[in-house]
Amino acid sequence: MAAEVLSQHGVKVDVYDSMSSLGRKFLMAGKGGLNLTHSESFEQFVLHYGNRRTQIEPMLKLFGPDELRKWAQQLGVETFTGTSGRVFPKEMKASPLLRAWLKRLDDQGVNFHLRYKLVGWNEDKSLKFETPEGEKSVNADAVILALGGGSWARLGSDGAWVNWLNQAGVKVEPLKPSNCGFDVAWSSHFRERFNGQPIKSVVLTFQSFRQQGEFIVTKEGVEGSLIYAASASMRDEIEAKGKAIITLDMSPDRSHEWLIEKLSKPHGSRSMASHLEKTVRLKGAKVGLLHEFIPKEDFTDLEKLATFIKQMPIPLIAARPLDEAISSAGGVMFESLDENLMIHNLPGIFCAGEMLDWEAPTGGYLLTTCFASGRVAGLGVLKWLQA
Ligand SMILES: Cc1cc2nc3c(=O)[nH]c(=O)nc-3n(C[C@H](O)[C@H](O)[C@H](O)COP(=O)(O)OP(=O)(O)OC[C@H]3O[C@@H](n4cnc5c(N)ncnc54)[C@H](O)[C@@H]3O)c2cc1C
């Protein structure tokens, strides 16, 4: 986006990337349909940036969800709004958009240099790259770093920049997993039996978070959209207290009293599992969770059983590693940057995208702010060059 703004204004732009092709993570996001943005009102949209709203909102005012949809349309990619309000390209793919975009940049004179890995600066302040032909130095009037976070390192963003930016005196909050899964100390029986199974239509409560949705049981613990949505506060709680206990309502449309009434019916020779399925429609991994966490003697106490169905506590013991997360929290702190995203103590060097210190849930909030911050950095360079 920065290259687009600058090349439109006649600035000569060179884009360097360590990978052998561009936009790998963007293409990976396309595998899930490419959730570009969200259709809710702007006031609702900005609430998803928590205490970084102050810094993110002005960027989104310049280039927000509506502008993003128009931009995609100008590149020949129509979007649609899904039932959840999320916005996707009609083709549910990233490649047509990326192709059209790169062509436009190429037509505007942007030069691309692949397999150039930035490793910091030389003494004369030129950029230092590792390339297949050995080390290369590059001089530029201005530089925009858009090196991504630290998840899915195989797609290019490995967070290696944290060290050399720190050494250059830039304040960087350590990268942490965001929109990530969590470890649960499953018994080997539960793990083997339910690994990969979805737990659908439950209400997850954690602190002030309360949302209905679904997630997946993994060998290590839990992952999926409902878990990601609450992941920031769960991660912070584990960091502070060593664990986080989430509560699941596994029968959100039924009351405690209804459950007791149904469960009280005699079950004769039927097993408890089939009684639960017949009377309150609980089966599979949900019943597995009951067996996993309820002491055996409480299974016959219907009051307690109903309470567990409505408020099943699941202890999370660790966030999954950064490399597995959808995105990163942490990054270049806003106090190190001016309003044009230029680093205070490195004049002429700007930052954009996920490498900045903000986080947001999935739902299109990530890409929208990456795009918006790219534009702000591009406009910032323009002002810097003009000055
Ligand atoms: C599986 C998955 C699905 C996702 N789905 C969505 C979604 O549907 N909607 C959404 O909003 N977000 C989604 N995201 C998140 C979104 O893709 C990222 O937030 C976004 O791509 C970040 O953009 P960026 O330009 O800041 O960084 P990146 O896209 O990571 O790009 C950074 C680039 O910098 C290059 N680079 C890094 N270090 C160096 C270096 N030292 N030298 C040279 N080049 C370097 C990398 O090769 C890379 O090309 C998803 C993420 C994942 C992993």
Which residue has a Cα nearest atom 39 of ligand 1?
Answer: 147
- Cα(157) to ligand 1 centroid in Å equals 7
Two tokens, residue 223 = 């992952």
Amino acid 81: pLDDT: 98
Q: What percent of the chain has pLDDT over 90?
A: 96
Amino acid 92: pLDDT: 97
Amino acid 56: pLDDT: 98
Amino acid 186: pLDDT: 98
The model's pLDDT over 141-198, given as tens digits with 9 standing for 90+, comes to 999 999 999 999 999 999 999 999 999 999 999 999 999 999 999 999 999 999 999 9
- Cα(156) to ligand 1 centroid in Å equals 8
Amino acid 130: pLDDT: 98
Amino acid 298: pLDDT: 86
Which has the higher per-residue pLDDT, 307 or 269? 307
Ligand 1 binding pocket mutation candidate from 147, 228, 355, 357 (most atoms within 8 A of CB):
147
Confidence tier at 318 by pLDDT (50, 70, 90)? very high
Q: Which residues have C-beta atoms less than 6 Å from ligand 1?
A: 16-19, 24-26, 28-29, 32, 34-35, 117-118, 146-148, 151-152, 156-157, 160-161, 326-327, 353-354, 364, 366-367, 370
The residues with which 14 forms a beta bridge, in sequence order, are 111
- Cα(201) to ligand 1 centroid in Å equals 30
The model's pLDDT over 185-237, given as tens digits with 9 standing for 90+, comes to 999 999 999 999 999 999 999 999 999 999 999 999 999 999 999 999 999 99
Amino acid 296: pLDDT: 86
Per the prediction, the chain carries an average pLDDT of 97
Closest ligand 1 atom to 32 CA: 8
Confidence tier at 306 by pLDDT (50, 70, 90)? very high
- Cα(298) to ligand 1 centroid in Å equals 48
Alpha carbon distance 325, 122 (integer Å):
33
H, E, C per residue of 169-221? CCCEEEEEEECCCEECCCCHHHHHHHCCCEEEEEEEEECCEEEEEEEEECCCE
Question: Which of 62-76, 99-113, 237-251, 288-302 is predicted least confidently?
Answer: 288-302
- Cα(148) to ligand 1 centroid in Å equals 5
Confidence tier at 297 by pLDDT (50, 70, 90)? confident
Which residue has a Cα nearest atom 41 of ligand 1?
Answer: 118
In sequence order, which ranges of the chain are alpha helices (DSSP H)? 2-8, 24-31, 42-45, 53-62, 65-74, 95-107, 161-167, 188-194, 225-229, 231-241, 256-263, 272-280, 285-293, 302-310, 365-386
- Cα(136) to ligand 1 centroid in Å equals 24
Amino acid 381: pLDDT: 98
Closest ligand 1 atom to 118 CA: 42
Confidence tier at 246 by pLDDT (50, 70, 90)? very high
- Cα(244) to ligand 1 centroid in Å equals 28
Query: Of 168, 178, 153, nearest to 52 (Cα)?
Result: 178
Closest ligand 1 atom to 23 CA: 49
Is the pLDDT assigned to residue 299 strictly greater than 90? no
Q: How confident is the model over 346-358, as a mean pLDDT?
A: 98
Closest ligand 1 atom to 373 CA: 26
Which residue has a Cα nearest atom 28 of ligand 1?
Answer: 148
Is the pLDDT assigned to residue 123 strictly greater than 90? yes
**Contact predicate 228/252, CB 8 Å:** no
- Cα(25) to ligand 1 centroid in Å equals 4
Which has the higher per-residue pLDDT, 376 or 271? 376
Amino acid 268: pLDDT: 85
Which residue has a Cα nearest atom 20 of ligand 1?
Answer: 367
Which residue has a Cα nearest atom 7 of ligand 1?
Answer: 35
H, E, C per residue of 42-102? HHHHHHHHHHHHHHHHHHHHHCCHHHHHHHHHHCCCCEEECCCCEEEECCCCCHHHHHHHH
Which residue has a Cα nearest atom 22 of ligand 1?
Answer: 354
Ligand 1 binding pocket mutation candidate from 87, 98, 367, 373 (most atoms within 8 A of CB):
367
Q: What percent of the chain has pLDDT over 70?
A: 100
Is the pLDDT assigned to residue 258 strictly greater than 90? yes
Is the pLDDT assigned to residue 74 strictly greater than 90? yes
Is the pLDDT assigned to residue 271 strictly greater than 90? no
